Amino acid sequence: MQESATNTYKRLLGYVKDFKSAAIVAVIGMLGYSAMDATFVWLMQPFIDDGLTDRNSTVLTWAPYVVIALVIGRGTFNFLSSYCLAYVGSQVVRSLRQDLFTHMLNLPVSFHDNHSNGELISKITFDTEQVQQAITKALLVLVREGAYVVFLLVVMFSASWKLSLIFLVITPIVAVIVSVVSKRFRKISKNIQNAMGDVTRCSEQMLSGHKVIHGFNGQQQETERFARVNNINRLQRVKMDATKALSVSVIQILAASSMAVILVLISMPGMIDSITSGTFVTLISSMMLMLRPLKQLSNVNSELQRGIAAAQSIFAVLDTEIEKDTGTVVIEKAKGIIEVNNLNFTYPSVTDPVLKGLNLKIAAGEKIALVGRSGSGKSTLSNLLPRYYDIADREAITLDGEPLDTYTLKSLRQQFAIVSQQVVLFNDTIANNIMYGLETPLSESDLIEVAKKAHVWEFVKDLPEGLQTTIGEDGVMLSGGQRQRIAIARAIVKDAPILILDEATSALDTESEKLIQNALESLMRDKTAIIIAHRLSTIEQADCIYVMDKGQIIEQGTHAQLLEKDGTYAALAKMQQGEAV
């Protein structure tokens, strides 16, 4: 359930607590700035009545010094408020952005399955910027201009409380307008955030899939798709600006009407004789000067509501429960005994089960293979072992005789080295990609040794910067086979007792595959290995092969035994032999 706007802003201001000293100075600066401006208006009455009307030269002599003092004070308070508020705002947004990033990093995989990267990136970048506007610009205007309005009212009442009462008649009307407009601003702001998420998502898809787009001549299709979401974003912003302009105009008309009534009353014979020139100028000046802060206060409402809507969106993510780490046992090095007992699993976002009553046992140091058509549940099992998804029956999967959730997440995942078909590399050097996650970096000689084992050294040695070569975003500078070898080198460095190879050689040519197979055989020595493969030639030496279909094991045995059965596995083997010929 989404928090109210008031609670959201209170929670947002909770981030200010760590920087309250600077925030207090900022508020003092804002109040001082407004007080200087109001004091200048207040002094107009004695300047005119005492200085000009009564010809008091002392008042007129001091007037320039007072004005200079007010200007200096105004500038000092302005610097204090602007600098301290900017400091607090940037610190709050930094903290908020850091919390959001860290929280997203620890959210379960199922959360990321249901949210696009573009949407989440938009929250970290765009939404947090909107929050900064609510913290800095909106707060600056609310406090400074709000205080200015109050100070001007005090000046007006000190000049003539009877006439000033008329100006207060518009206050409840303005309050109603602000309340109605605030709800609309917040609604439009949410629509703008969603639209920006779509813009980010379309942009991300275009940038990451530009080769496919060019290959299939999809430029027009992507251009039209982006034009649609871009136009939706434009329409929402036009609605925001139209609402803002209408509210400002209505409030200014009300203020001007009050001023007109006061001018009519002043022009009456009974009133004109009882009011001095200084009082008249002070009243009119206060009312005229009040139009500007009233306009700014009306305008800032849109910024404030936009920030609150963005904060609600951010807090909704921050309130999402992170991965449950209920394990208490820290396992240093697992034996590698895995048992799966009557495992049933359904992904959170779908209704049909992916695994149904799955049973298998893997002994320590055993090499097993999972084969079967796409969608049979092979990769799902590899996702369940490191607990990327939780299972309903905690006893359904055990490691060394204990349910997976017995172990802490960190120590459990330390037991698995996963090399998947989709290699993820970071925009960093080859060396740092190989050593990713290591607490203690390898020495240069050890790193080269690992690179040689994974056959990375063959293409790295000729590069000008060698292992220190930056490979670009997601390894764009490398071929598919080279990226796969780096992933294998990363697994060698981790040296986990359990190895999961999910189509690990799929991106390699025949020559590279043979080289990598030798490296993998060395890597799998004395380790429990789970090999997921479509290419049966890569699993012929496995201790046991499990053939899966629709989430169940339909055949199991060695390569020779399964060929003798002349079942599904044998049919797959014959099909691949035919393709090879």
CATH of the domain at 343: 3.40.50.300
pLDDT at 542: 85
- Check pLDDT > 70 for residue 271: no
- Check pLDDT > 60 for residue 507: no
pLDDT at 581: 37
Q: Which residues, in sequence order, are bridge partners of residue 407?
A: 329
pLDDT at 318: 92
My answer on whether 132 and 262 are in the same domain is yes
My answer on whether 390 and 539 are in the same domain is yes
Residue 331 lies in a domain: no
pLDDT at 536: 75
Domain that holds residue 513: 338-580
Residue 333 lies in a domain: no
My answer on whether 291 and 342 are in the same domain is no
Least confident of 18-22, 196-200, 251-255, 403-407: 251-255
- The pLDDT confidence band at residue 580, using thresholds 50, 70 and 90, is very low
Least confident of 134-138, 139-143, 407-411, 543-547: 134-138
Residue 210 lies in a domain: yes
My answer on whether 305 and 401 are in the same domain is no
- The pLDDT confidence band at residue 171, using thresholds 50, 70 and 90, is low
Mean pLDDT of the chain: 81
Domain count, the chain: 2
pLDDT digits (tens, 9 = 90+) for 301-340: 777 777 888 888 889 899 999 888 888 899 888 998 999 9
pLDDT at 53: 67
117: nearest Cα among 204, 51, 39, 206: 204
Contact between residue 520 and residue 549 where contact means Cβ atoms under 8 Å apart? no
My answer on whether 80 and 157 are in the same domain is yes
Q: What mean pLDDT is predicted for residues 443-449?
A: 88
Residue 179 lies in a domain: yes
pLDDT at 72: 93
pLDDT digits (tens, 9 = 90+) for 491-502: 888 888 999 888
My answer on whether 289 and 404 are in the same domain is no
Chosen domain end from 318, 347, 368: 318
My answer on whether 305 and 365 are in the same domain is no
My answer on whether 307 and 367 are in the same domain is no
Residue 51 lies in a domain: yes
Chosen domain end from 318, 351, 373: 318
- Check pLDDT > 90 for residue 222: no
13: nearest Cα among 196, 106, 124, 143: 143
Q: What is the CATH number for 154?
A: 1.20.1560.10
My answer on whether 309 and 342 are in the same domain is no
- Check pLDDT > 60 for residue 579: no
The better pLDDT of the pair 291, 75 is held by 75
Residue 197 lies in a domain: yes
241: nearest Cα among 302, 307, 310: 302
- Check pLDDT > 50 for residue 55: yes
Chosen domain end from 318, 346, 361: 318
Residue 330 lies in a domain: no
Residue 553 lies in a domain: yes
401 burial (CB, 10 Å; 0-12 / 13-18 / 19+) is exposed
My answer on whether 378 and 303 are in the same domain is no
My answer on whether 280 and 426 are in the same domain is no
What is the DSSP pairing of strand 544-549 with strand 552-557? antiparallel
**What is the identity of the amino acid at 198?**
D
My answer on whether 10 and 147 are in the same domain is yes
